[in-house]
Amino acid sequence: MDIGERLKKLEKILDMLRDSWVLAEGQRDRKALAALGVRRVLTISGNLRASCGQLGRENADKAYVLSDLDRRGDELARSASDELGSLSIRADTQTRLKLAHLLRIRYFEDAKRAYDKLKEELTKKGENNG
């Protein structure tokens, strides 16, 4: 998959996330996602039940779980999925894998930097082909 294709798929996911509830691990992840235009981000590290409860009060029907791709992130994704399920909220844990793959990251705090790097690569590619 070339850079332009990756960026197009990435934009599609980000557009979807911008209108959705997202659960991220911590503040740095939340800030990186906010820099990409994802505004409705709740942190779950240390306050999973409270964040899921807030989604219940907001009458959310679905939430995207964007925990890091490490053992702790996998555990948080499973826990968040269980907690959300108990509130009848669908948990999407697959988008985290797609997004991380497209950005080539393991930690969502690196999302903005990886996105900017990808856009820069596309610009350089365009300059070299022009």
Confidence (pTM): 0.92
Tens-of-pLDDT digits for all 130 residues of the chain? 888 999 999 999 999 999 999 999 999 999 999 999 999 999 998 899 999 999 999 999 999 999 999 999 999 999 999 999 999 999 999 999 999 999 999 999 999 999 999 999 988 887 777 5
Adjacent-strand bridge partners of 21: 63
Cβ–Cβ under 8 Å, residues 94 and 64: no
- How far is Cα 50 from Cα 70, in angstroms, rounded to an integer? 23
Name the class of domain 3-124: alpha beta
Cβ–Cβ under 8 Å, residues 103 and 17: no
